[in-house]
Amino acid sequence: MTDLVVFPSERPLTGSVPVPGDKSIAHRAILLSGLAEGQSRIEGGALGADNMSTLAALRAMGITTEEQNEMLLVEGKGLYGLRAPSAPIDCGNSGTTMRLLAGVLAAQRFATVLVGDESLTRRPMERVARPLRLRGARIEGKLDPKRVGEITAPLQIGPLPEPNVLGPLEYEMPVASAQVKSAILLSGLYADGPTYVREPLVSRDHTERLLLALGVPLSSVGAIIQLDGPSFSGKLPPFSITVPGDPSSASFLVVAAQLIPQSRVTVRRVGLNPTRTGLFEVLRDMGGSLVLEPKGEEMGEPIGDLHAGAADLRQGRLGGELVARTIDEVPILCALAARAHGTTLIEDAAELRVKESDRIAMMARVLRAFGVTCEERPDGLAVEGKPEGKLKAADIESGGDHRIAMASCVLGLLADGPTRVRDADNIATSFPRFVGTMRALGARIEVESSGGTP
Ligand code: S3P
């Protein structure tokens, strides 16, 4: 296991850096390239471990792929080209891999088993199984003894029962979830009737944008999406995509720049899909310094450079519809709140309790370790900012959650001594070059092996 030792910053963060390709878009691009007919090309920096799980799943089902430097070539075999894997498919730490795959595997005539690591095995899966069953799929999990009606991985999927085709579906999702919505839409590619899905709030819409760019008859109005299965040709064309930079990864750099005096940081070619930019909106409301410079589009996804600088921050509020658009950025928002004047409220965010870790409980623990007062609530946190002086140097157990580890590193830059962030290997699931990027901007972070179980 790896620990990171973060030293208090002695100088501003400065420079212009890229971030890895957006993890969400890359998952979708990889999966759809395997279902397309012919060779697709995916570029956009080194893939993190989560994306590699999706790629490995395709390989296990007979799809050939080739990595050339940071370019990935995938030989898609069409919607019905996947072969039965010879063993359970390991989705690692990746909820997106497991839930998106479930949508595609639900329509196959062979059976599959999806497994994951300890964290993924705790996460709720009935939310994706239920709508797929409603359209005729066979999908079962392990009954969760603690949550009535809930199932967890391993998921046993298929083979698709008679009449061997998924039916139409009209489904109101109880929770906003792009993973569940995407599984439903992907299953809709195989259905003999229309798919109609409605979310309580608009979640990230990368699947919709990519399917539209590939000519799939799909339309959406706000949180209502319709896919017209019967008029779909059944063929996805191969494509080339340079995946935009991940705004979730960029958030750590953008926030660090706000907090360290005189910093000026540019993050290049970041995806600016409005379903992902909630943190940037909250940051601006808090008086943050951030300028977005548009740089065009890639397969329906807006892109831009982010110019961030140090700022004097006031308290903010996250709640309502903004939560779905900030869902992965709450840990780093807590770091921002820790240095703002006044108390920042984070509400309506109970979903954070079923992410890679219980991120509400984890961030409450992290903030307190740094000497920041906060109140943990069932659906969020109230964080009392401590804008003056140094934070207390901390020893953080990140619980193997990449975003908790990275948010803790940013807080560590503001502490009165070295901070240790334990169990930080998991940062590689989304931001393999996090330490190198922070160093390039001027931060001092050492990597130490802690001798635990690797
Ligand atoms: C993701 C959707 C979100 C997000 C996750 C990635 C996706 O999860 O938290 O990191 O790529 O669709 P939910 O759909 O469970 O909200």
pLDDT for residue 69: 84
Question: Looking at the domain assignment, is residue 236 inside a domain?
Answer: no
CA atoms within 13 A on the CB side of 198: 5
Please list the ranges in the chain whose pLDDT falls under 50: 453-454
Question: Looking at the domain assignment, is residue 454 inside a domain?
Answer: no
Distances (CA, A) of 129 to 140, 184, 419: 7, 10, 42
Of 201, 229, 257, which residue is a domain's last? 229
pLDDT for residue 453: 42
Q: Are residues 173 and 43 in the same domain?
A: yes
Q: Are residues 419 and 329 in the same domain?
A: yes
For a mutational test of ligand 1's pocket, the pick from 22, 23, 24, i.e. the residue with the most ligand atoms closer than 8 A to its C-beta, is 24
User: What is the 96 CA–ligand 1 centroid distance (Å)?
Assistant: 6
136-138-144-145 Cα dihedral, nearest 10 degrees: 100
Question: Looking at the domain assignment, is residue 85 inside a domain?
Answer: yes
Question: Looking at the domain assignment, is residue 334 inside a domain?
Answer: yes
| Nearest protein Cα to ligand 1, atom 4 | 328
CB 67 within 8 A of CB 137: no
Tokens coding 268: 């290049």
pLDDT digits (tens, 9 = 90+) for 113-154: 999 999 999 999 999 999 999 999 999 999 999 999 999 999
Q: Which residues are within 8 A (CB) of 80 and not within 5 positions of it... i.e. 6 or more apart?
A: none
The closest of 92, 93, 89, 120 to 104, measured between CA atoms, is: 89
> Which atom of ligand 1 is the closest one to the Cα of 176?
16
Total number of domains in the chain: 2
Range of the domain at 65: 23-229
Q: Is 359 annotated as a binding residue?
A: yes
User: What is the 210 CA–ligand 1 centroid distance (Å)?
Assistant: 16
Which single residue is written with the structure tokens 């929770």?
175
Q: Are residues 201 and 264 in the same domain?
A: no
| Nearest protein Cα to ligand 1, atom 15 | 177
Which single residue is written with the structure tokens 């439903």?
184
Q: Is 249 annotated as a binding residue?
A: no
Give the Cα separation of 181 and 189 in Å (integer): 13
For a mutational test of ligand 1's pocket, the pick from 23, 177, 276, 322, i.e. the residue with the most ligand atoms closer than 8 A to its C-beta, is 177
pTM of the model as a whole: 0.97
| Nearest protein Cα to ligand 1, atom 3 | 178
Answer yes or no: 285 catalytic.
no
Q: Are residues 44 and 102 in the same domain?
A: yes
Q: Are residues 248 and 204 in the same domain?
A: no
Residue type, 419: T
Q: Are residues 16 and 54 in the same domain?
A: no
CB 17 within 8 A of CB 437: yes
> Which atom of ligand 1 is the closest one to the Cα of 27?
11
pLDDT for residue 451: 63
Q: Which residues are within 8 A (CB) of 368 and not within 5 positions of it... i.e. 6 or more apart?
A: 374
Of 195, 229, 263, which residue is a domain's last? 229
Q: Are residues 126 and 35 in the same domain?
A: yes
Residue among 328, 358, 423, 425 flagged as catalytic: 328
Give the Cα separation of 399 and 181 in Å (integer): 28
Question: Looking at the domain assignment, is residue 274 inside a domain?
Answer: yes
User: What is the 400 CA–ligand 1 centroid distance (Å)?
Assistant: 18
User: What is the 344 CA–ligand 1 centroid distance (Å)?
Assistant: 24
Q: Are residues 160 and 183 in the same domain?
A: yes
Give the Cα separation of 174 and 189 in Å (integer): 22
Q: Is 95 annotated as a binding residue?
A: yes
Q: Which residues are within 8 A (CB) of 349 and not within 5 positions of it... i.e. 6 or more apart?
A: 318, 319, 323, 327, 330, 360, 379, 380
CB 288 within 8 A of CB 258: yes
Question: Looking at the domain assignment, is residue 167 inside a domain?
Answer: yes
Residue type, 39: Q
User: What is the 278 CA–ligand 1 centroid distance (Å)?
Assistant: 14
Q: Are residues 8 and 52 in the same domain?
A: no
Question: Looking at the domain assignment, is residue 239 inside a domain?
Answer: no
Q: Are residues 47 and 16 in the same domain?
A: no
For a mutational test of ligand 1's pocket, the pick from 204, 211, 276, 354, i.e. the residue with the most ligand atoms closer than 8 A to its C-beta, is 204
pLDDT for residue 454: 35
Q: Is 41 annotated as a binding residue?
A: no
The CATH number of residue 15's host domain is 3.65.10.10
User: Is the Cα dihedral 266, 271, 273, 278 positive or negative?
Assistant: negative
Of 178, 198, 229, which residue is a domain's last? 229
Q: Are residues 41 and 91 in the same domain?
A: yes
Q: Are residues 202 and 275 in the same domain?
A: no
Q: Is 86 annotated as a binding residue?
A: no
Residues in contact with ligand 1 by the CB-under-6-Å rule are 24, 27, 96, 177-179, 182, 203-204, 327-328
Question: Looking at the domain assignment, is residue 237 inside a domain?
Answer: no
> Which atom of ligand 1 is the closest one to the Cα of 327?
9
What phi and psi values does residue 97 have, to the nearest 5 degrees?
-60, -50
CB 31 within 8 A of CB 56: no
> Which atom of ligand 1 is the closest one to the Cα of 28?
11
Give the Cα separation of 133 and 146 in Å (integer): 23
User: What is the 146 CA–ligand 1 centroid distance (Å)?
Assistant: 23
